[in-house]
Amino acid sequence: MIKIQIPATSANLGAGFDALGLALTFYNYVEIEESDRIDISASDGLDIPTDEKNLVYISAKDLYAVCGKKLNGLKLRQTNSIPMARGLGSSSACIIAGLVGANKMLGDPLSKDDLVDLAAQIEGHPDNTAPALLGGIVTAVFDGRRVQWVKQEVYTKLKFAAIIPDFELKTEEARACLPKEISHKDAVFNLSRAALFSASLLTGKFENLRTAVDDRLHQPYRMKLIPHCKEVFDIAYAHGAYASYISGAGPTVMAIADESNTYFAGKLRFSLDNAGLGGWQVHELKIDNEGTKIL
């Protein structure tokens, strides 16, 4: 069987709505091989679709169709560490696993660019799928068919704390709360901050990040769907975070801190417990610069 490691992702990064994303050291694993029937299970006992509705299977079947091949069946074993419906790219990890696995089974007929394009077509936007495949921090523009992307490997003395609540937020619900139109002023506000985020992260001007993650397109609306979100932001900043933002569609809050901020995750955990938020998990992570790998 082919064994694949796929990283979690954090998209939007504040102001970079549907355009910016990065890969993190938090992984799903998928073992995949062709079969004459559909044989899907979760090695960790998680409740996942075990039929043709499984997203890994759907993605693999799509790639076969693009290559003019028929997928009769698939033997699939999933280990899902990335929590579902939490804004950490669990759906994108499934899509990328299916595409990479199917491409490998067919002898790698599609290029990396092809896989980026196909993943975005399946997902609808590339901000999670592109960094899940490529690693690093990715800036991507999708025109409905093709993705123009730039990957930048980030070697900084930063750590990321994923602060994950004990409830889900479906992407559909998180998108439904967004306004249909925005003002020119708000568009300029976000454009300037999205540009500032990438430049500041890559040049080490981390003091800019708090301003760079400010946003008027999605976070003010999604905060209303995430109880205690503002409180979690405040806790992260109280412990010296450079920035805090809603990861993807939420409800996870991502905090960025300096590597020298000793016991940052432990301090967050202590303050969350004191605030009555003991159900929120804290995972300290780094940027994954490699992306999806076949092990």
In a domain, 73, yes or no: yes
Q: Could you tell me if 46 and 182 lie in one domain?
A: no
Average pLDDT, the chain: 95
With respect to residue 293, please indicate whether it lies within any of the assigned structural domains.
no
Q: 114 with 190, same domain?
A: no
* Cα dihedral sign, 140-256-162-245: negative
N residues, the chain? 295
Provide the pLDDT for residue 47.
86
| Model pLDDT for residues 78-105, shown as the tens digit of each residue | 999 999 989 999 999 999 999 999 999 9
* % of the chain beyond a pLDDT of 90: 92
Q: Of 129, 153, 177, at which residue does a domain stop?
A: 153
Q: How many domains does the chain have?
A: 2
How far is Cα 60 from Cα 289, in angstroms, rounded to an integer? Answer: 24
The last residue of a domain, from among 96, 124, 153 = 153
Same domain? 93 vs 203:
no
Q: Which whole number is the average pLDDT over 27-56? A: 93
Tens of pLDDT, residue by residue over 204-242, are 999 999 999 999 999 999 999 999 999 999 999 999 999
Q: So what's the pLDDT on residue 127? A: 94
11: pLDDT confidence band, cut at 50, 70 and 90?
Answer: very high
Claim to verify: residue 116 and residue 181 sit in the same structural domain: no
pLDDT digits (tens, 9 = 90+) for 119-172: 999 999 999 999 999 999 999 999 988 999 999 998 778 999 999 999 999 888
Q: For residue 295, is it within any domain?
A: no
- Residue at a domain's end among 105, 133, 153: 153
| Domain boundaries, position 169 | 158-285
Nearest to 52 by CA among 61, 64, 44, 63: 61
Count of beta carbons in the 10 Å neighbourhood of residue 293: 14
